[in-house]
């Protein structure tokens, strides 16, 4: 029940952020945050963050899924992961088409032509790596390894999210909306995991 209520709380938070985006009441915070991030722009950081942001792209997630299959041997878990990621992509694009928020135009360091809210890279990494963490904590791996890999996965997620603001293709509110939507999505679908696994078997 706690997992369900956390998911509902995140969904409500998502709609609050969406309201602030639509009414433009969060624009000042978005611009102020970007100005702080922009102070870190240099050739080295740009090179690194362009590589990091690839991890949240569609090709990056697809490659990551294939790599994860070397460690995820259970057939149901593989299917659950793939279907969940596809579902997230559909949900993200649907919301983007409805909201139709224009991308930032201050100083984009990469070219993006899709709507801005919520961040697709943020949602995809939130869903993919959260599911990996879910599988990890349901595995017999020793506790210290679970903790280390969980921290590593969270760092990847945060790095991808930061890269989207740094590269000038998303506002902070796009990232926050993507986090709320992605994590709530994972919390809800993993509630169904035991029943779906039973039916699959």
SS3 190: helix
Radius of gyration of the chain (CA): 17
Whether the Cβ atoms of residue 146 and residue 136 lie closer than 8 Å to each other: yes
**Residues of the chain whose pLDDT is less than 70?**
201
Using N-to-C axis directions, what is the helix angle for 2-22 and 172-191, rounded to 10°?
A: 150
Q: 15, 162 in Cβ contact below 8 A?
A: no
Which string of b and e fits 146-161 if b means at least 16 CB within 10 Å?
beebeeebeebbebbb
Three-state DSSP state, 113: coil
Task: Render pLDDT for 94-153 as a digit per residue (tens, 0 to 9).
Answer: 999 999 999 988 778 888 888 999 999 999 999 999 999 999 999 889 999 999 999 999
Q: Indicate whether this model's pTM tops 0.75.
A: yes
DSSP state of 167: T
């Amino acid at each position: 029940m706690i997992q369900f209520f956390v998911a509902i709380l995140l969904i409500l938070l998502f709609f609050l952020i969406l309201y602030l985006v639509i009414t433009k009441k969060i624009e000042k915070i978005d611009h102020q945050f970007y100005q702080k991030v922009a102070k870190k722009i240099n050739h080295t950081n740009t090179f690194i963050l362009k590589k990091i942001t690839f991890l949240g792209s569609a090709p990056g997630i697809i490659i990551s899924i294939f790599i994860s299959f070397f460690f995820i041997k259970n057939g149901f878990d593989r299917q659950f992961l793939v279907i969940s990621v596809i579902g997230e992509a559909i949900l993200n694009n649907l919301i983007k088409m409805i909201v139709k928020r224009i991308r930032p135009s201050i100083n984009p360091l990469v070219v993006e032509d899709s709507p801005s809210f919520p961040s697709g890279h943020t949602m995809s990494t939130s869903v993919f790596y959260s599911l990996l963490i879910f599988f990890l904590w349901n595995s017999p791996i020793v506790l210290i390894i679970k903790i280390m890999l969980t921290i590593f996965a969270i760092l990847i997620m945060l790095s991808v999210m930061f890269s989207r603001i740094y590269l000038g293709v998303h506002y902070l509110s796009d990232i926050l909306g993507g986090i709320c939507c992605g994590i709530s999505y994972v919390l809800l679908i993993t509630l169904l995991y035991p029943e779906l696994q039973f039916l699959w078997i």
